[in-house]
Chain A
Amino acid sequence: MIELIEKIEGEAKLDFSFEDGKIDFVDIEFMTARNIENILKGKSPLDALVINPRVCGICGHAHLIATVEALEDCYENIEISKKAKIIRELTLTFELIQNHFKWFYLVMRPLFGEKQEVLKATYPTQLMAKAIAVFGGQYPHTSYAIVGGVVCDVTEMDIIKVKHYIEEAIKFFELNVVQADTKDFLVCDNVDKVLKKSGDLPDILKEIKKKKYLHHGKSYDRFIAFGENSYFSKGKSHKTITTHNISMDHVKEYSNPNSLAKNVLYKDKYYEVGPLARAMINKVPLVKDAHRRYGDNIFSRIIARVCEIPQLLNHSKELLEQLDLSEPSYIEPSIDITKINGSGESAVEAARGSLIHKVDIENGVIKNYEIITPTQWNLGNGTKKKLGVSQKAMIGLEDVQTAELVFKTFDVCSVCTTH
């Protein structure tokens, strides 16, 4: 039984097989591929900063940051000011926040029978877009992070402006998503306390319990994150064991006979990436509590993603404080990138999880470019013997609607998956 999944930045086809009234396999097919990696071949390296954000309209900024870091990795030595690093991290953080708000209000809530509240998605996301625009000039699709730093300079007035956008977004969160003081919410380590609150998040979580959905969406309980910054650390976690010792060398892509999206594995195993993975690796108390009670199910996945909103808002305030405006925003690299022969790679945490870019530069042009997106990890199309993460999460469900819900808790994005 084939179901067309829409409104996911494109579309996907899920082909369900049932046995004894239960889903026993799902074939996931993404039908479009634009082949950005090919478009990049032969281009001047810096042009990738303009092209790559166009991989995706909702997480293009993560592609920009991954690109600039991959290009900088081609240098043996390159100096980037702390200020530039902080600004890059800030804008990427704002993109994550806008994504989560959109996912929660445009995708998740309607799946629980609520009317889609577009304005609740657009109001806070516009604040975040403005905050990015203060540094980057516009959102979406700026290319303001360039090899050597960022193109903008900012003044105290800009900082004040950005701070107000953040405060306003926090207020929105406290009024709508979880009606509580964010400061308390951030240190909360007990999901029961959240369930007692009012707000759009507790509403959904209560629904999950009421509808007896708590067993839905379990997968391998195996998580990985490659991106590292002042908030996220890299590592992997399986059940309760976490290690930070991982290497991108073990990441392998495999093409997929049935779909235009490639599967990606770490040491030959599927891993889940994204907010739940990050929270498990970073040991976020509230998410750990959800996971301890319910495992890697939809409840944990939803609470993890929404929880990132106040965490990141709060963290971005701290980052703003750390900005030293007297530092340079940009330090011209001593060697022009077109004079470089070399390879570079980068990993950043995008909204949906780890995003990896790899580039080879030869004679001043891009010889090869490789992009591994978060959704390739989560939405890989495995076989019956070896299921992908979201496939496994759908096995055993009794109907297609619930399966679609489970699928979408991974925050599906078709354009990124296939790029």
Chain B
Amino acid sequence: MRVLWLSSIACNGNTHSFLNYPYMEQFLNDFEFIYHPVIDSNYSLKEIVTETIACDILLIEGSISDEFKRADVPVVDIITKYAKIVKKIVTVGTCATFGGIFRESDYKDTTGLHFVKEVKIDKFKDLLNKTISLSGCPVHPEVLVNTLYAIKKSVDLQLDNFLRPKDYFAYTVHNGCTRNEYFEYKVDNHKFGELEGCMFYDHGCQAPFTHGSCNKILWNEVNSKTRAGLPCMGCTEPTFPKSNLFGTKKNMGIPQDLPLGVGKRTYLTLAGITKAFTIDRLEKKLFDD
């Protein structure tokens, strides 16, 4: 399969995240980049933008604006040209999907391919049925690579409302965090720099309402933000980046954003029950008794 990796307004974080894919040799045997930001390819950027090189999958990294050019050609024109010939288009990362951080850059009308935040835009609407969104800032390398293999195998992927494969985005990032017990029993004693505690209550963890598999497949095969003690910033969501990312917004003591699918009453009932008992083990340090 021939793949074009096109960077638009980006930090190239997805490019480097991809380089962390552990089975790169296998991947490079199965796919050929007709262009990639750092991996050598048979075509130059000039050739890519002036000619139409045969290609099966178009990967777009970075947010999109009419003003932005690669090799003097508007990136929207490059997208339009290759979109016609490829089998699938994949938006790689949150910028390409929703606009992300660089939605706020100086370029005019910066957007994702099909969305500005949650709002669907019309610009490329005839490409909707060809697109798969892989959000994340950056995208997880396994999410990207396995999606490409699924395309190669012509798997009929189930997608969510934002065109994200459910295989990775039906979960919440909260699934699999090592701090789950503190969350379950509502022990709100988290302090930064410690192995214990859950960041949902005070420190802005967005994992319970963020779609993704960070804690299921882990990053760099070893860890995740929340396991390390950093709140989930919700980087796979259309709203990324929100503001005041290290604090939990609350209304009358109740977190403003509740776990996905959990209503306020359910939450309050549960909170009420957990108030009735203390679990000694979770009040203490894990290691010292």
Q: Taking beta carbons and an 8 Å cutoff, which residues of A are in contact with B?
A: 4, 6-7, 9-11, 31-36, 38-39, 43-44, 46-47, 49-51, 53-58, 60, 84, 102, 106-107, 110, 116, 118-119, 121-122, 125-126, 129-130, 132-144, 146, 148-153, 155, 161, 328-332, 415
CB < 8 Å: which of A35, A51, A149 contacts B193? Answer: A149
Kindly list chain B residues whose C-beta atoms are within 8 Å of the C-beta of A142: 225, 228, 230
Tell me if B13 and A329 are in contact (CB < 8 A): no
A32 to B37, CA, bound (A): 15
CB < 8 Å: which of B12, B40, B68, B107 contacts A9? Answer: B12
Tell me if B19 and A6 are in contact (CB < 8 A): no
- By beta carbon, the residue of chain A nearest B22 is A126
Tell me if A121 and B193 are in contact (CB < 8 A): no
CB < 8 Å: which of B69, B104, B191, B225 contacts A137? Answer: B225
B114 at the interface (CB under 8 A from A): no
Tell me if A330 and B17 are in contact (CB < 8 A): no
Tell me if B12 and A33 are in contact (CB < 8 A): no
Tell me if A54 and B101 are in contact (CB < 8 A): yes
Kindly list chain B residues whose C-beta atoms are within 8 Å of the C-beta of A49: 245-246
B229 at the interface (CB under 8 A from A): yes
A328 to B45, CA, bound (A): 50
Tell me if B71 and A4 are in contact (CB < 8 A): yes
A131 to B29, CA, bound (A): 28
Kindly list chain A residues whose C-beta atoms are within 8 Å of the C-beta of B68: 32
User: Which residues 166-201 of B have a CB within 8 angstroms of A?
Assistant: 191-195
B119 at the interface (CB under 8 A from A): no
Tell me if A56 and B228 are in contact (CB < 8 A): no
Query: Which 4 pairs between the two chains have the least Cβ-Cβ distance?
Result: A330-B193, A137-B228, A138-B219, A329-B193
Tell me if B24 and A119 are in contact (CB < 8 A): yes
Kindly list chain B residues whose C-beta atoms are within 8 Å of the C-beta of A56: 11-13
A152 to B223, CA, bound (A): 11
Tell me if A151 and B230 are in contact (CB < 8 A): yes
As a 0/1 sequence over residues 131 to 143 of chain B, the CB contacts with chain A under 8 angstroms (1 = contact) are 0000001100000
Tell me if B195 and A153 are in contact (CB < 8 A): yes
CB < 8 Å: which of A55, A102, A332 contacts B191? Answer: A332
Given A134-B222, A149-B193, A6 contacting B102 (CB threshold 8 A) = no
A134 to B218, CA, bound (A): 11
Greatest chain B CB density within 10 A among A32, A33, A58 is at A32
Kindly list chain B residues whose C-beta atoms are within 8 Å of the C-beta of A57: 10-17, 138
A47 to B11, CA, bound (A): 17
CB < 8 Å: which of A9, A43, A60, A137 contacts B37? Answer: A9
Given A38-B106, A39-B101, A57-B13, A140 contacting B138 (CB threshold 8 A) = yes
Tell me if B12 and A151 are in contact (CB < 8 A): no
User: Can you list 20 pairs linking A and B with CB atoms under 8 Å apart?
Assistant: A4-B44, A9-B15, A34-B102, A34-B106, A44-B244, A46-B244, A57-B17, A102-B38, A106-B39, A118-B28, A122-B24, A125-B20, A137-B226, A137-B228, A138-B214, A138-B224, A140-B13, A152-B228, A329-B194, A415-B11
